[in-house]
Structure 1
Amino acid sequence: MAAPELLDRIPLLSGVPRSVEELPGGLTNHNYKVTTPSGAYVVRVWASDGTLLAIDRDAEHANSIAAARAGVGAPVHDYLPGLGVLVVGFLPGCHTFTEADLHDQANLPRVAEACRRLHAGPRFVRDFDMFEVQRRYLEIVRERGFRLPPRYLDFMPTVTQIRKCLAIRDEGTVPCNNDLLPGNILDDGERLWLIDYEYAGNNDPCFELGNIWSESALPPGHLEQLVTAYYGRRLRHKIARARLLGLMSKYGWTLWASIQDGANETIDFDFWSWGMEKYERAVAEFTDPGLTGLMEEAARAD
């Protein structure tokens, strides 16, 4: 439970009646719902400084404000980096998505609409490129002697090919959350909200869509529906692009798990098994004979 002395150092919450409830989820933060007479808030307390994982807390704060302005993120009430705290508004009456919600095809157009709202909003203060993030993660893993999955380096030449093929039809970046696992999507019954901007940055919109697909292990047909809903029409090269970036999502976040497994001693979670599940799905895609055709599809015009 959040220490009373910590809450007392947050001006908005100091010296007022309050109730505190720990919220589930969060692998790099501890999250608490704090209810006061003036309203309810979520206090995010850093579980680590996030340096190894390329989390920039100042950028997270700025990007959270931008997402709120876009009408898709929770309002931001306070930021106290000296305490490792970000305070955002609690969104009442919301259902937190699960994988089952994303497997329900009726929700995919709603998810696409929420992404479009975010992507049309103010630019974020930094960029996010999974090819570069994966490269930095790999340097950390090798320098520190963290565990590397079997054959991980064997796929690096294919990663280079994927990056080159995606550059052919590169259409620029938009502000993306980049971490839309189901728990970061909230449903108030009318619209969806997107939360948690630790990894937010300007990115290819197809990474956002491919990452959603990857995080919930959705069937390929669901990704096609999600991409089609996002663009308003079926675009084969965008669907292929999202699939390739979804593969890069699995490949890159595998190393996130390796770093957490080797460096994080404060959170009781099996990061290695979590990462290996992603890696095994990535290997299946890297070794699929259809990967070359997918790259060709992403590079050609419809």
Structure 2
Amino acid sequence: MAEIGAARSEAERTLEAAIVQVEAWAGRRMSYHPVSGGISNTNFRVVVDGEPHAYFVKIPGRGTEMFIDRKAARAASLQAETMAVGPRTFDYLDHLDIEVSEFLGDRRPSTHRDCIDRAFRAGVVQIYRRFHEAPPLPLTKTVFDMIDEHYAQVEELGGHWPADHAWLYRQYQEARAALEASGLDLVPCFNDPMPGNFLVGADNSIKLIDFEYASNNERLYDLAIWSGEHFFPESVEQEIIEDYFGHYDKSLHARFIVHKALADIKWSTWAMVQNRMSTLDFDFYKYGIWKHMRARSIIHDPRWPLFLKAL
């Protein structure tokens, strides 16, 4: 743990300058340590003498204001806290757009191995259902809004386009038209199912963290992007649909698969924005190219036209 005054990086200097402004911590000894795993921001565990728990403090990454609405993220975090889906949050540094929450030291980040267990997957499905059933969030941002936003940003920044960008864009437009024609089912969505955003307790209970990308969005997108993140086979996707809706339906599965392709297009394009803007030590170009490849693999499936018709 580093003490105040020991900062060596820009993020650490920003952290120190911020936490000394917290009135509730004034005059107390504070120390901090980086928390690994994030690819948007720099995160820290902060220990304050006399406090019963540590704090999780998030320093926004360079350029993230281009696609993260911090006030909307704060509202989503508060809603999750109220529902006991997320950790306790604090408004200490809201004026700096710096997120502060309770560090859940008695929980561990989930891994892909956890999701091999059907009981664990069922628990995740239930926590998704709870979040989806909450009142609407102040921000409505569909996957279409996200893709359009990132396309414009890549264009503005002179970022990388794949050689078949025009083809991918046409596939996106066709999928969007089919989904919009069928009607959108908008609910509060988490939108960011990296394994580390699911914290597991000793009793196998689950809490969500990191609501920066949360918004009102298409219900099945939230489940589809989770499946894509964990490489679930279609047999597991069938179980997820059955667990969530109480029955399996082929048209729901078609919608699910279309959203998986859109999720990869969204995050591949996001990665090309980050490749131009971020200062984090992460290979965003490689990540984006890989996401582009997986989107193609879904769209090239001979069943793709049938999926679009089934919507």
Same fold (TM over 0.5): yes
Which residue is 1:186 aligned to? 199
How many equivalent residue pairs? 296
Could you tell me which of 44, 54, 58 is aligned with 2:71? Answer: 58
Which residue is 2:157 aligned to? 144
Offset of 1:49 from its aligned partner? 4.7
Which amino acid in 2 is paired with 1:257?
A
TM-score if structure 1 supplies the norm length? Answer: 0.91
Could you tell me which of 50, 55, 64 is aligned with 1:41? Answer: 55
Are the equivalent residues in 2 in contact too, given 1:20–1:32 (CA < 8 A)? yes
**Pair 1:23 & 2:35 matched:** yes
**Pair 1:221 & 2:266 matched:** no
1:13 and 1:231, CA in 2 relative to 1: closer, same or farther beyond 3 A? farther
Offset of 1:91 from its aligned partner? 1.9
Offset of 1:110 from its aligned partner? 0.7
Give, in whole Å, the separation in 2 of the partners of 1:144 and 1:7. Answer: 33
Are the equivalent residues in 1 in contact too, given 2:63–2:277 (CA < 8 A)? no
Which residue is 2:3 aligned to? none
Are the equivalent residues in 2 in contact too, given 1:109–1:226 (CA < 8 A)? yes
- SS at 1:12 equivalent: helix
Which residue is 1:12 aligned to? 24
**Pair 1:247 & 2:231 matched:** no
**Pair 1:198 & 2:212 matched:** yes
Offset of 1:171 from its aligned partner? 5.1
Give, in whole Å, the separation in 1 of the partners of 2:290 and 2:19. Answer: 38
- SS at 1:72 equivalent: coil
Which amino acid in 2 is paired with 1:207?
Y
1:103 and 1:277, CA in 2 relative to 1: closer, same or farther beyond 3 A? farther
- SS at 1:74 equivalent: coil
Are the equivalent residues in 2 in contact too, given 1:108–1:225 (CA < 8 A)? no
Identity %: 27
Moved over 4 A (4+): none
Give, in whole Å, the separation in 1 of the partners of 2:136 and 2:183. Answer: 18
- Aligned positions of 1:1-302 closer than 5 A: 2-3=12-13, 4-36=16-48, 37-38=50-51, 39-52=53-66, 54-170=67-183, 172-188=185-201, 189-264=203-278, 266-297=279-310, 299=311
Which amino acid in 2 is paired with 1:294?
F
Per mean C-alpha deviation after superposition, the further-off stretch among 143-152 and 100-109 is 100-109
Unaligned residue ranges in structure 2 (runs of 5+): 1-6
Offset of 1:102 from its aligned partner? 2.2
Are the equivalent residues in 2 in contact too, given 1:99–1:216 (CA < 8 A)? yes
Offset of 1:87 from its aligned partner? 0.6
Offset of 1:278 from its aligned partner? 1.1
Give, in whole Å, the separation in 1 of the partners of 2:105 and 2:31. Answer: 15
Unaligned residue ranges in structure 1 (runs of 5+): none
- SS at 1:87 equivalent: strand
Give, in whole Å, the separation in 2 of the partners of 1:239 and 1:15. Answer: 56
Give, in whole Å, the separation in 2 of the partners of 1:55 and 1:175. Answer: 16
Are the equivalent residues in 2 in contact too, given 1:60–1:199 (CA < 8 A)? yes
Give, in whole Å, the separation in 2 of the partners of 1:190 and 1:102. Answer: 12
Give, in whole Å, the separation in 2 of the partners of 1:20 and 1:139. Answer: 37
Give, in whole Å, the separation in 1 of the partners of 2:247 and 2:255. Answer: 15
RMSD after superposition: 1.8
Offset of 1:81 from its aligned partner? 4.3
Offset of 1:253 from its aligned partner? 0.8
Which amino acid in 1 is paired with 2:158?
G
Offset of 1:11 from its aligned partner? 2.4
TM-score if structure 2 supplies the norm length? Answer: 0.89
